[in-house]
Chain A
Amino acid sequence: MADGIALRARLRPYAVVLASRARSQTSYRANFALDLVSSLLSGLVELAEVWVLFHAVTRLGGLDFGQILLVFGMADLAFSLANMLFGHCDRLPTYLRAGTLDIFYLRPQPLLLQLVTSDISLRRLSRAAVGLVALVAGLAAGDITWNVGTVALLVISLVSGIATFAAMFVWAGGLQFFLVEGEEMTNAFVYGGRYAATQPASVWSRPLKVVFGYFFPMAFTGFLPAVVLLDLPAPAWLPAWLGWCGPLAALWAWAMALLCWRWGVRHYRGGGG
């Protein structure tokens, strides 16, 4: 009880900032509606890409369209939600140039928590809706035996997927402390990773499997759990039981992200002025 009150007091600074961000984004109704529509369109374009690709080959990596929808839906929903909550972390140079990071240093909260809660992109909700629709369609089309196990796997994988993508954004932010023009380099991995995650890993080349299967554990956000859910044959290098290892992948991604962040903070040289 007392702990609950103490925790609420500790979280209040972050909640107040986030609430103010949400309010300012939604206060101009027409603007917000436009933002939602444009973000919805970008989600639809991504989905259309999958559809076009699929039409050219009819089967991709041994998956039919419904199965690919499931992979896309899981990975894209997780990415969109992570992007909504953490997407600004990989735009660190903007914060550095504006001196916002210096300001964070002058406040009695951890830097990373301040950065994460300094913004939220509500417009990405519509983008997440595209992922959700794809996911539901993929689930409906798939031949899935529903039981406690499959429901648990779906929920665990989604939550770990969000965490894994969130870690990617933090990882990128950490590197941007000391990589000049680091945004371009990290974007290749963050957005390349997102793209890879929405594709069946069975079509990946071996280097890709190493990079996005294990190092940046993208396969764990969509493809690997889908293999288990749909009872598909597992590809080489990525055994089926890995489908259950989303939480481990998320832990690994966060360990890497926090390491990069700490390394970056050590390199911080002040925001000029």
Chain B
Amino acid sequence: MSAIVEAEGLTRQFTVRDGARRRRVLAVDDLTTRISAGEAVGYIGANGAGKSTTIKMLTGILVPTSGTVTTCGLRPVKDRRRLAREVGVVFGQRSQLWWDLPVRESFRILAAIHTLSAAAERARTEELVERLELAGFLAVPVRQLSLGQRMRAEVAAALLHSPRLVILDEPTIGLDVLSKQRLREFLVAERRAHGTTLLLTTHDMGDVERLCDRVLLIDHGRLVYDGDLAGLSRTAGAERVLTVDLTAPSADLTGIPAARHLSSEANGLRQRLAFDAESTTAARVFAAVAERAEVVDFTVEEPDIEDVVRRIYAARR
């Protein structure tokens, strides 16, 4: 697979004035990674971990202090203008639409900026309007849109020139559950239809779970995990939780191998057991429970990713 992003020892340092003293902040520290065409990568980390700084280096906004990066086979700073035709970026906290113009007008201007042919402009606009359900507010000035409507318009604006790589910096920030859901569905469909590579930063683990097949976790500018989501929980030793509903009130189900009793409700009608996915399986724990009590219903909860990230951070301190 051809590489869309190739970073080698990518580093960015800022000098900040702290009163009279100057202090150095290593925003991104020796990042080496490779993203192949068609991947969907979640780039996660706490506030100030260096996610936005990385994105700015990938897109040629910031010059790296050291190290190299190529994006879509181009050098971001030197070939910025060519790269702009290959990459679409959504910044959740800035707008690339014109506040005082109707959404449709913004799209028209962006099509001119990317020198789309009239036919390409029409086809792509129609596609995005339909998939993102923008038809209802195309004639409304951007400043009058709700946050959810504006984000959808922003995404359409960033994708109008059919970029090979789409980078989203906190695209779901502030959106309600339904809007998040719609946006995720759109991104999944867009990837399926066009083979677009996705790189997204987020604090919402739902985004990562639904959209990404690979996770990069950074902490203070350093890459601390690169792999799939399940592996991330394994790394952190996070536990899965089995909840069982029993036919009759029972004593606490303690002493089940490789599992830990968490809580009991309603005289033991409902009980929760935590177990480490490394040392046992949900089936084995369930079988052990079924030997001791009659089970009506059960659920298995995956570890909370935010909790996982917190554990990894804590382990590094």
Contacts and interface: CB of A to CB of B under 8 A. Distances in A.
Interface of A: 9, 12-13, 16-17, 20, 24, 98-100, 102-103, 105-110, 266, 268-271, 273
9 contacts: A16-B113, A17-B109, A24-B100, A105-B59, A105-B60, A105-B80, A105-B84, A108-B114, A266-B63
B308 to A, nearest CB: 26
A181 to B, nearest CB: 13
A107 B14 CA distance: 25
Contacts of A12: 112, 115
Given A20-B105, A270-B61, A106 B115 contact: no
B113 A13 contact: yes
Contacts, number: 74
Contact of A269 (B14, B94, B109, B169): B14
A102 B93 CA distance: 12
A9 B80 contact: no
B292 interface: no
Contact of B82 (A9, A108, A271): A108
Contacts of B162: none
Contacts of A16: 108-109, 112-113
Nearest to A273: B93
Contacts of A20: 98, 101, 105, 109
A269 B61 CA distance: 8
A93 to B, nearest CB: 15
A109 B80 CA distance: 9
A23 to B, nearest CB: 9
Contacts of B169: 273
Interface string B22-59: 00000000000000000000000000000011001001
Contacts of B108: 16
Nearest 7 A/B pairs, CB to CB: A99-B94, A108-B84, A16-B112, A13-B113, A108-B81, A105-B61, A103-B96
B85 interface: yes
B62 interface: yes
Nearest to B112: A16
B89 interface: yes
B62 A106 contact: no
Nearest to A265: B63
B149 to A, nearest CB: 19
A109 B94 contact: no
Contacts of B14: 269
Interface string B78-108: 0011101101010101111010110001001
B87 A270 contact: no
Contacts of A100: 94
A98 B94 contact: yes
A13 B111 CA distance: 8
Nearest to A101: B61
Contacts of B109: 13, 16-17, 20
Contact of B53 (A24, A98, A102, A270): A270
Given A103-B96, A273-B93, 9 more contacts: A13-B112, A16-B112, A105-B59, A108-B81, A108-B114, A268-B61, A268-B62, A269-B14, A270-B56
Contact of A110 (B59, B81, B82): B81
Nearest to A27: B100
Contacts of A106: 59, 61, 84, 87, 89, 96
A152 to B, nearest CB: 37
B190 to A, nearest CB: 18
B114 A102 contact: no
Contacts of A109: 81, 113
Contacts of B89: 106
B101 A107 contact: no
Contacts of A270: 52-53, 56, 61-62
Interface string B176-194: 0000000000000000000
Nearest to B61: A105
A103 B169 CA distance: 13
Contacts of B105: 20
B51 to A, nearest CB: 10
A71 to B, nearest CB: 38
A20 B110 CA distance: 12
Contacts of A24: 98, 100-101
A159 B52 CA distance: 44
Contacts of B82: 108
